Amino acid sequence: MDLLTEPRPVIALDDDLTLRAFDAGADLPEFFRVIEESLDHLRPWMPWTAEHSLDHTTAFLAGRSSLWASGDEYTYAIVLDGALVGSCGLYRHEDTPDGVLEIGYWLHPAATGRGVVTRAARALAEEAFRVPGVDRVEIVHDPANLASGAVPARLGFTVGERRPAEALAPAETGENQVWCLPRSRWEG
């Protein structure tokens, strides 16, 4: 396995699915539309939807390149059959231990149920383990969000601890379920 200093900006998974770094200017109209069409689907689980606006989406996209350069976030557009259908990424939070990257994801409701997020998360785990010093990948979600929890289960992550979390979105329970995948299990 070749080690990188950071994940690749474009990951072509197959003929129909690509993960690519956002282009702040070019992606804004389509990304904003995808969020708008997905709000009812995302609102129960994603606190940021409460502040959704064109200004927030513009600021989000504008910040991606500096976060990528810092190594704190590697955020990708999920492109299915040439259309942007969601977002995923690798993240380091201020309370994330050294050697750990977290995978996050969301999709437009029309793209769900087709294995898109599972394929994206598998590719992100592979990408994470190509970064020197990364020993573990985590997926963290509210335990009531069964669709999000099905992804790490399919990929062989181990159910870890439940952590208290502030319930910020309407369906959140006040807990986070942590799933872990150590490098040794990925390579083994």
pLDDT tens, 13-48?
Answer: 988 999 999 999 999 999 999 999 999 999 999 999
What is the SS3 assignment for 151?
A: helix
| Backbone torsion region of residue 156, taken as left when φ is above 0, otherwise alpha when ψ lies between -120 and 50, otherwise beta | left
Domains of the chain, by residue range, sit at 10-187
What is the percentage of the chain residues whose pLDDT exceeds 90? 85
Domain 10-187 annotated CATH 3.40.630.30: yes
Q: Is residue 53 exposed (0-12), middle (13-18) or buried (19+ Cβ within 10 Å)?
A: exposed
pLDDT, residue 1, reads 46
pLDDT, residue 93, reads 79
What is the percentage of the chain residues whose pLDDT exceeds 70? 97
pLDDT at 6 over 80: no
Chain mean pLDDT for the chain: 93
